[in-house]
Amino acid sequence: MSKSEKKGKQRKTRKAKNKDEPAEQERPRVGVFVCHCGENIAGVVDVKDVAEFASHLPNVEYSTDYLFMCSKQGIELIQKAVKEHGLNRTVVASCSYEQHWPTFAKAISDLGLNPHMHTQVNIREWCSWVTDDKKAATEKAKRMVAAGVARASKKEPVATRKIPITKRTMVVGGGVAGLRAAMDLAELGIPVVLVEKETSIGGHMTMLNKTFPTNECPMCTVSPLLNGVMSHPDIEVLTLSEVTNVEGTMGHFVVEVTTKPRYVHDNCTSCGRCADVCPVEVENEWDHGFGMRKAIYKPFPQALPSVFTLDTKHCIDCGSCVIVCPVDAVDFSMTKEERTFEVGTIVVATGYEEYDPTEITAYHYGHPDIITQLQMERMLAPTTLTKGKIVRPSNGEVPKTVVVVQCVGSRNDQVGNEYCTGVCCMFGIKNAGIIKDHLPDTEVYFCYIDIRTPGLYYEEYYKRAQKKGIRFIRGRPSTITPDPTGDKIRVEVEDTLTHMPMCIEADLVVLSAGMVAPRGFGKLSAKLELLRAKEGFAKEYHVKMGPVRSSRDGVYLAGAIQGPKDITQTVAHAGGAASAAAQPLVQGFLEKRMDTAVIDEELCISCLGCVTTCPVGAISVAEGEKPKVNDVACKSCGACVPACPVGAIQIRNFRDSQLNAEVSALLSVAAELEGGDE
């Protein structure tokens, strides 16, 4: 320990050089005001004795007690004392910081002092209300006041800074969440750049056939928003694009976006002649195995932007499309493009991905008659191979028995997803009902562990499905196995309510696979320096009070990227994200209290301990330079301070010297008071 003491001394001798330390301040003149709070304090603590004791403490110029410090008279008393005694710091020993620090700070700032020169000592919640013994409470209050005075003597003024910001936002991800957020922001007059990695916008919603709880057509529901975003003068839509670099902080991010070539120019009229002549036919990713497309294609008819895309991976360079195109839109010379954008805030709306059930080998996903719900949605879509008919993909026959299996990849510790997706019960019920509607003679079994339909109209939706005659079985299948002696799929499950193990011979099995974080999000979150939850989704700032903020200031989360959500929740969440992202941009500047971290460059040995510690990435270091704190990003948590081996990084008003003075005073007064007793 002697070593650290030496370090401490060393620091003191060098302190004068540190321009940031509050060394050149005028001599502290502290006023102490002890509050009675009626009987709340004075009933237990001898306030007069405390005020008397305080008057002998170092740097105290004035000390008194009063019935209600926060009353108008109390405040006037403080202001008068400050003026009369030339006080430059105040200590009020009364209630909690949260309750009245702002009151008294304002009182002194009205007199022209920096509000941070006020110190609140909580002798009510932390002393009189928790201590029975009057003498002990009084002694404790004295120690607390002594500590407060020591702290006050070391305090420094803290400035507030206005930081101008770039009035533009970037939305990453063009699903319904990204669209909603982009639209809301643009409507506030904020220019938006929307970055979507696929060829078209709309995300998963455009793949769905119907949406619960109304069974509306999702394309119909979302297309006004799609068209609105495409045509909005303040929204620039970049498809086939990804964020490849992010620099800067809230108010001023510099984002690099890389756009892959489409090989078709925007003048494409979507006439489709190129696709007609293209000889290459491949599986359409959009349709999850239920549709085909050409090498030059649009993933689905209503896709926006309404421009074809040439897929060079499959194209055989025959040139037919070039010849046939009436507007010469096809262009093989297009190349990758990199652009940088300056934006004030960023909204991340990269959605989710369906869980891949291959991992649960007992379920034999991969067999053509065992499909996921997203595949079911595509099978039901009128534009795919089956033209919306429900068939067994293996042979095209109408299934007589269908089994829907819930909780596939959710609520499953074995695959590492402990969470309940929360949406699959509803979409499972939706599709089970649609199957029953299309094929009334088909038996539909629905195997579930629990049915989770919280919210208005959701249980009602479940009840309607029950009326259709779906057989609900409470049990999770142990195995789903293609029968080696026939073409059925054998589903083994216990109906736990009748204790009956059974084997259902199904023609078609639909797995309600859960929602997981999208592939590639790890890379994006690293660029954005976002924390991720262990499940892979982006971690929100606070689960209750900040569900649309990310762990990084200026970056907001919208939709399923923060955790599984249905469309209703996604849209509401995206709206919240948009207003949070707009707030600073509408205001035009950031107001920031500068009690942030500062680095004494002379002391710093560039160990980078602070850089790796800072939970919000506020400290950066340039090649060959000492680390620098970004004042805008720093949240004044102080986690970096203990990380520094030489005490070079400090936060204003919570410096080592300030905190140590408080603790030393507390303990030395404790020893004195104890000594005096004996």
Partner 1 sequence: MAQSYSLFLGCIMPNRYPAIESTTRFVLDKLGIEIKEMERAGCCPAPGVFRSFNKPDWMVAAARNLAIAEANGADLLTVCNGCFGTLFEVNHALKNDEELKKDVNARLADLGYHVEANQEVKHIAQVLGFDIGPYGIRDYLKRKVRLRGAIHYGCHFLRPFHLKQIDDPEDPTILEDYFEALGVELIDYRRKHACCGAGGGVRAGHIEVSLEMLGEKMAAITEVGAEAILDICPFCHLQFDTGQKSLNEKFGTNFNVPVIHISQLTAFAMGLDDIGLEYQTIAPDFKLEAVEL
Partner 2 sequence: MIVAFLCQNCAQGAANTAGVQRMRYSDEIHIVRVPCAGRAGAREILHAFNNGAEAVAVIGCCFGACHFSDANLITLRRVKIVKKFLVEMGYSTDCVTMYTSRAAEGDTIVGDFEDILERKYDPETPPCPGGAK
Partner 3 sequence: MSVFKNPPCVLDSGKRDPTIEETLKAAGFDPNLCIQCGTCTASCPSGRWTAMRTREVMRKAAFSIEVVLSDPDIWLCTTCYQCYDRCPRDLQVTDAIIALRNLASARGFISDKHRKTVDLLHKTGHAVPINDRIRKIRKELGLPELPPTVYCYPEELEKLGKTLFQLPPRPEDHDEEEER
Nearest residue relative to ligand FAD (C-beta): 175
3-class DSSP state of 136: helix
Is residue 362 a contact point for partner 1 (CB under 8 A)? yes
Residue 374 binds ligand FAD (CB under 6 A): yes
Interface with partner 3 by CB under 8 A: which range of 147-155, 256-264, 488-496, 573-581? 488-496
Among 607, 659, 670, 673, binds ligand SF4 (CB under 6 A): 607
**Contacting range for partner 2; rule: CB under 8 A; set: 222-230, 426-434, 506-514, 536-544:** 536-544
> Any residues with CB less than 8 A from the CB of 488 and at least 6 apart, and which?
482, 505, 506, 507
Cβ neighbors of 389 (< 8 A, separation 6 or more) are 379, 398, 438
Q: Between 26 and 413, name the residue whose CB sits nearer to partner 1.
A: 413
Q: How far is the CB of 313 from ligand FAD (least distance, A)?
A: 18
| 626 class by beta-carbon count within 10 Å (0-12 exposed, 13-18 middle, 19+ buried) | middle
Residue 239 or 481: which CB sits closer to ligand FAD? 239
Distances (CA, A) of 621 to 341, 624, 629: 23, 8, 9
Residue type, 102: P
Q: Does position 425 bind ligand FAD by CB under 6 A? A: no
Concatenating the DSSP letter of every residue in 171-222 gives EE--BHHHHHHHHHHHHTT--EEEE-SSSSSBGGGGG-S-BTTTTB-HHHHH
State yes or no: residue 475 binds partner 3 (CB under 8 A): yes
Site for partner 2, residues 598 to 637, rule: CB under 8 A: 613, 615-616, 635-637
Q: Which does 642 bind (CB under 5 to 8 A by kind): partner 2, ligand SF4, partner 1, none?
A: partner 2
- Given partner 3, partner 2, ligand SF4, none, residue 501, with its beta carbon under 5 to 8 Å by kind, binds partner 3
DSSP 28: P
Of the candidates 150, 296, 307, 349, which one interacts with ligand FAD according to CB under 6 A?
349
Q: Which of 10, 96, 160, 587 binds partner 2 (CB under 8 A)?
A: 96
Distance of CA 429 to CAs 8, 92, 454, 460, 464, Å?
Answer: 67, 62, 13, 11, 10
309-368 residues near partner 3, rule: CB under 8 A: 362
Contacted by 594, from partner 1, ligand FAD, ligand SF4, none: CB < 5 to 8 Å by type? none
Please report the DSSP string for 586-618 in residue order.
Answer: HH-EEEEE---EEE-TTT-----HHHHH-TT--
Give which of 404, 183, 200, 179 is closest to 299, Cα–Cα. 200
Tokens of 53: 């004791």
Give the footprint of ligand SF4 on residues 1-40 (CB under 6 A): 35, 37
Residue 551 in the binding site for ligand FAD (CB under 6 A): no
Name the phi and psi angles at 661, rounded to 5.
-60, -40
For partner 2, the closer of residues 293 and 652 by Cβ is 652
Please name which of 16, 34, 205 lies closest in space to residue 128, comparing C-alpha atoms. Answer: 34
- Residue 281 binds: one of partner 1, ligand FAD, partner 2, none (C-beta under 5 to 8 A by kind): none
* 606: partner contacted, choices ligand SF4, partner 2, partner 1, none (Cβ within 5-8 A by kind): ligand SF4
660 φ/ψ angles, rounded to the nearest 5 degrees: -65, -35
449 scored as a contact of partner 3 (CB under 8 A)? yes
Question: Cβ contacts of residue 609 below 8 Å, gap of 6+?
Answer: 640, 643, 644, 645
Identify the H or E element spanning 6: helix 2-14
Determine the Cα–Cα distance for residues 655 and 603; give it in Å rounded to an integer: 15
Which of 319, 501, 642, 645: binder of partner 3 (CB under 8 A)? 501
Check binding of 374 to ligand SF4 (CB under 6 A): no
Half-sphere exposure of 526 (CA within 13 A, CB side): 5
Site string for partner 2, 131-170 (x = CB under 8 A): xxx--xx-xx--xx--x-----------------------
- DSSP class of residue 126 equals I
Burial 354-386 (b: 16+ CB within 10 A, else e): bbebeebeebbbeeebbbbbbbbbbbbbeebbb
| Window 561 to 580, contacts with ligand FAD (CB under 6 A) | 565-568, 570
Residue 447 engages ligand SF4 in binding (rule: CB under 6 A): no
**Is 610 one of the binding residues for ligand SF4 (CB under 6 A)?**
yes
Q: Rule CB under 8 A: is residue 485 a binding residue for partner 1?
A: yes
The SS3 assignment for 274 reads: helix
Region 430-449 residues binding ligand FAD, contact defined as CB under 6 A: 430
C-alpha count within 13 angstroms, C-beta hemisphere, residue 194: 37
Q: At residue 449, what is the residue type? A: I
Residue 365 binds ligand FAD (CB under 6 A): no
* CA gap 331, 266 in Å, rounded: 11
Residues 505-534 that bind partner 2 (CB under 8 A): 531
Q: Which stretch binds ligand FAD (CB under 6 A): 203-211, 575-583, 605-613, 651-659?
A: 203-211
Judged by CB under 6 A, the residue of 447, 599, 661, 665 near ligand SF4 is 599
d(CA 62, CA 507) in angstroms, rounded, equals 89
475, two tokens: 């049990």
* Chosen residue from 109, 221, 244, 412 binding partner 3 by CB under 8 A: 412
Query: Which tokens is 229 given?
Result: 């975003």
503 scored as a contact of partner 2 (CB under 8 A): no
| From the list partner 2, partner 3, partner 1, none, partner contacted by residue 226 (C-beta under 5 to 8 A by kind) | none
Shortest reach from residue 119's CB to ligand FAD, in Å: 34
- Decide: is 479 part of the binding site for partner 1 (CB under 8 A): yes
Site residues for partner 3 per CB under 8 A: 362, 407, 411-414, 449-450, 474-479, 492-496, 499, 501
Site residues for ligand FAD per CB under 6 A: 172-178, 195-198, 203-205, 208, 211-212, 242, 349-352, 354, 373-374, 377, 423, 427, 430, 515, 518, 520, 524, 559-560, 565-568, 570
Site residues for partner 1 per CB under 8 A: 361-362, 364, 479, 483-485, 490
